[in-house]
Structure 1
Amino acid sequence: MPYKFKSRATADLIMLEANGRQVLEIIGKSPDDEHGIITAEQIPAAIAALEAAAAEDAARRSAKPEDEEQPQEDEGAAANKDSVGLSRRVAPFVEMLRRSAAEGKEVVW
């Protein structure tokens, strides 16, 4: 089931289940809850948590030594090599949080 995040300050944001669960776990919310809220007061901490997780993911991706990556011919390896980093996945959500914070609005799902 995809997650649909809503705010009165922005358009709705839809995320696939795996990505939505990951985002909620990073900001300390329970992904098992069908509905939830990120209050305007909680938004700065949520943004900081997402940015820290994205920076950690980027550092981990850049720290992989070249010799660990073995050339493989299957499709899965090519898809994994070109996978989208966390910073790109959370960018629309962080933007939603920033706009919501600027207007003092909460984000719900």
Structure 2
Amino acid sequence: MLYRFKSKAGADVVMMAESGDAVLRLLGRSPAPQGILEAGALPGLIQALEAGVADDEAQFQRGVDAAKAAGEPEPRRQGVSLRQRAWPLRELMQRSLKENADVVWGV
């Protein structure tokens, strides 16, 4: 399944199911084939997304620090980070907020 997030404020953002599900959970939403992020809720949703990404990065950094302390090789991120996956949607949400437009998917 693909998620295609749409808004009148910008270009569509497409995510694979696993990434889209993870981002929706960060936003406090259950993964679903369709939904809406209402313009009025976007400030809180953007903040939740940013906090989730910051938490992911902090967790990875703790792993790096623990490896250094143990004298082990530093772990490397496998694949694309959550920040890289989530930031296009964050940008669309910010543009939508400025234009008071909803973000929808699956419709």
* TM-score (norm: length of structure 1): 0.83
Structure 1 portions without partners, runs of 5+: 72-76
SS of the equivalent of 1:11 reads: strand
Q: Figure out how many residues of one structure are paired with residues of the other and give that number.
A: 101
Instruction: Identify the residue that residue 83 of structure 1 maps to in structure 2.
Output: 79
- Secondary structure in structure 2 of the residue aligned to 1:90: helix
Could you tell me which amino acid in structure 1 is paired with residue 90 of structure 2?
A: V
Q: How much is the aligned-residue C-alpha RMSD, in angstroms?
A: 2.0
Aligned residue number for residue 96 of structure 2: 100
Deviation at 1:7, TM superposition (A): 0.3
Q: TM-score, normalised by structure 2?
A: 0.85
Q: Which has the higher strand share?
A: 2
Shift of 1:35: 1.2
Using a 3 Å threshold, how does the CA distance of structure 1 residues 82 and 43 change in structure 2: closer, same or farther?
same
Q: Which amino acid aligns with 1:8?
A: K
The 2-side partners of 1:12 and 1:68 are apart by 45
Partner of 1:44: 43
Kindly state the Cα deviation for residue 70 of structure 1 after the two structures are TM-superposed: 6.3
Change (3 A) 1:50 1:14: same
- CA distance in 1 between counterparts of 2:50 and 2:9 reads 21
For residue 68 of structure 1, report the CA deviation from its aligned partner. Answer: 8.4
- Aligned to 1:42, the other structure's residue is in SS state helix
